[in-house]
Structure 1
């Protein structure tokens, strides 16, 4: 799995004559403050006859830089209330595409310092944004060759030390795995091929992988998930899998993170079939599971001390067919909760609930555990918070400020979130309407037109997984944060063609994997 390695560079002037580089990219807050006098003079001369310089990313030809390619990329305004570090990411993506199209494969990158804590990780954000722009789909790489579609081999980042370069490359390796798993078409990444890709990604690593594919075992241990899978069982390649990933550090464990990942390799909507073009892009409904695997990939490479991480991923296809589960069915979850189905297109929460019930058992003996569910769960999240990750937490997590910390780190690292609260209305929404069941999975309307459409599913997950509904006052509470990436999971909100963003891998790494 190729990726553009982050290469440490001590200073700009000495690197300008280094033969390992073939282009220079200047990410500028002020194009009049380039730290090389000769280069500054030449940029000034060109700017006098080319009014694009300082206003947009442009390629200049000069013998003063490696490969005679100099890309001047202005960041733009940073002083407005709404400006954030993504301004660096936006221009970095444009600049690296320009460099790639010009033939550069080993560009040197200089990022101009910007004042303020909000921009303290600007260089790191630039590297990750460039890597995001350079990534190409797995199917394209397999058909045409990685060297053809992804020719850029390394990015020399000025001012970055070796330890940070290793860290950034590890983050990108995790994000790349997440993009591959999320962004690949449903036959190339069927449930068991998803599992195979994970096994390959973690071979000879610090993360162990267990894959459960036995249908009888899955039906007993993951009954809600298997209801979703029911109509896919007659197609051998579409049968489901549960992937368990585990990282155990050397020495004492001081904290445990538990992740449930929604891995819907394709979501037709089931019996409540998606209509009016709504099915296009549903091969990306595995973005939550992909992000969980991506985070574990970075963990495997960085091997953090004191941190134990356990993840369960449900890889399944929600198919249409004569054996499809339907609304009004009552299905008992792994936690023993009787779930009445409200709509079969709300299948992701069923998968997550069983995974979370198993992880709850892990939490019982864990040191300082925190539980997360990660999913492309609701259209409401995309409507409510746009391109941001939506965080919804229980009382214990709220008291610890977990979502606030994730959001703060995400802002600094260009992987932002919006924080929501779990409220009593959410639990009222999913309460049973009769003694026949214990909880309602959802209403029978799109989440995007349902009040609190991305908050109430978290309440369902708490109930269906058998979590403590009084975690704010419980003596041994399990903090829990639900992470909905329906709005942030792909660039530009284009679920059929946009590049997977690998959100929230960067924010999780920044929060839990100290440098």
Structure 2
């Protein structure tokens, strides 16, 4: 089998001015909120031309403008306005959206090496970073295009990046570029795995990709479990979901373990479990009526955990440790499939009754969550997360652009979700905060004598009250994390992230979220 085509990220060079003498660049993309922001940085004739055009076009501040000018690099100027940024509902995404629109226009007219110019914002501290991330986002080429259509494997040769704003120190802007490129590397990995079709990214091929991605790394270690007997012994709920697919070698599940240890005395440990369902048929509770399409994106949780480790491998933050488990499996439908009414015992000893085989995501994550819980008790300052495209209910509740964060008691006391939301707001990766309640724990309590927990009801999550909150209760209860709540002698902070809305959907590439917010929360202060 041919080697995987690992992602690349376009080189970005900091430029000090916008002179037309910069012959190595072939276009200038200006991202600005107001035209007067650029006056001191470009020739007066450029401003005059744009002012004249603004008088002819009532939509000047709402759409991309392209003009020819001898006085800018490449003689092509793309003015991409953010629109208003001072209203109650405006956020920093105005900058990423403007950058994306401007760079797409530059690429569409044949530019390969544009300069992106931005000018900061008084309201949004990371407007320049978000602008560059928006520009880099446009350059991603899907894995299967890179492999199958090599002449289309890249969209741009390089970027110049100009910041018309003073920086905290001489090296800050260079560090900002390095940070943005690392995040884009992580997002590209998340998109590669998350966006690969069900065969290209079947579990064994996900494992191959991850092993090759970190091959030779002295910072990220990779281990893998593929033996069915080991699944059954140590990860029995995962093993149940894997049963139907396990009779087909190319669909056999993989548990992939990642570890990063930074230099110096560790002061923070992040432990993550990612749902990696490479295709979700629904199992024996099969998805009918055409709703199976798009289910290859059900692995975006595991994909983005991998992407976060790629960022760690690029930036090598000190005094930081991360442990990840990718629960990669295919929820197939077949005679070996697990069934509703089946009684299973989790790694933590909790007996569950299966209510719906289409609730497989919580099944594959619960035992790995128990595993990292056991590790967390020995780690320094641990934060536990599950990341999953888990429920349709979260999309019904919050729409298609937001990650839901659900804290347990210790995480709520730590304000983990609030910190994530603040980090996400800074970097254009927004969150909504949900709360797990006593009704959620009551909902999952089995009413019979045989089982402790009911895995799920037999309605869709979007038709169920609190449909994205009660799965967080299930994960806490079945992993044994409920024994490490605020009332425990060993409390552990745990936050469940439902990315069903924010991860993206076909036919578009996955978003790679919430990698930027996790980086902003845990890494930015270490590397900027």
> How would you bin the TM-score normalised by the shorter chain?
over 0.9
1:54–1:72 CA contact under 8 A, matched in 2: no
Give per-residue Cα distances to partners, 1:36-81, cap 9 Å, x unaligned. Answer: 2232123234444555543311221112122221101111111211
CA distance, structure 1, for counterparts of residue 37 and residue 448 of structure 2? 70
Deviation at 1:334, TM superposition (A): 1.3
CA distance, structure 2, for counterparts of residue 9 and residue 161 of structure 1? 10
CA distance, structure 2, for counterparts of residue 227 and residue 253 of structure 1? 36
Of residues 142, 163, 184 in structure 2, which corresponds to 1:137? 142
2:186–2:311 CA contact under 8 A, matched in 1: yes
Give the structure 2 partner of residue 420 of structure 1. Answer: 434
CA distance, structure 2, for counterparts of residue 134 and residue 166 of structure 1? 16
Does the alignment pair 1:388 with 2:393? no
CA distance, structure 1, for counterparts of residue 37 and residue 374 of structure 2? 57
Q: Pairwise mapping of residues 85-484 of structure 1 onto structure 2 (< 5 A)?
A: 85-116=92-123, 119-145=124-150, 148-159=152-163, 161-205=173-217, 206-386=219-399, 387-469=401-483, 471-484=485-498
Give per-residue Cα distances to partners, 1:85-113, cap 9 Å, x unaligned. Answer: 11112222211111111111111011133
Describe the SS at the equivalent of 1:134: coil
Does the alignment pair 1:44 with 2:51? yes
Of residues 63, 70, 74 in structure 1, which corresponds to 2:70? 63
CA distance, structure 2, for counterparts of residue 235 and residue 5 of structure 1? 42
Describe the SS at the equivalent of 2:243: helix
Deviation at 1:131, TM superposition (A): 2.0
Describe the SS at the equivalent of 1:233: helix
Does the alignment pair 1:487 with 2:520? no
Moved more, 468-477 or 376-385: 468-477
| TM-score normalised over the length of structure 1 | 0.96
Aligned residues: 506
1:227–1:325 CA contact under 8 A, matched in 2: yes
2:276–2:301 CA contact under 8 A, matched in 1: yes
Describe the SS at the equivalent of 1:13: coil
Deviation at 1:142, TM superposition (A): 1.0
Moved more, 47-56 or 331-340: 47-56
Give the structure 2 partner of residue 7 of structure 1. Answer: 13
- Gapped regions of structure 2 (runs ≥ 5): 1-6, 164-171
CA distance, structure 2, for counterparts of residue 75 and residue 366 of structure 1? 44
Give per-residue Cα distances to partners, 1:241-280, cap 9 Å, x unaligned. Answer: 0100000112211111100000000000000000111100
CA RMSD of aligned residues (A): 1.4
Of residues 55, 80, 87 in structure 2, which corresponds to 1:80? 87
Describe the SS at the equivalent of 1:262: strand
CA distance, structure 2, for counterparts of residue 97 and residue 257 of structure 1? 36
Give the structure 1 partner of residue 522 of structure 2. Answer: 512
| TM-score normalised over the length of structure 2 | 0.93
CA distance, structure 1, for counterparts of residue 11 and residue 281 of structure 2? 38
Deviation at 1:144, TM superposition (A): 1.1
Give per-residue Cα distances to partners, 1:472-504, cap 9 Å, x unaligned. Answer: 2323211000000001111xxxx2212211111
- Gapped regions of structure 1 (runs ≥ 5): none
Describe the SS at the equivalent of 2:138: helix
Of residues 502, 506, 512 in structure 2, which corresponds to 1:502? 512
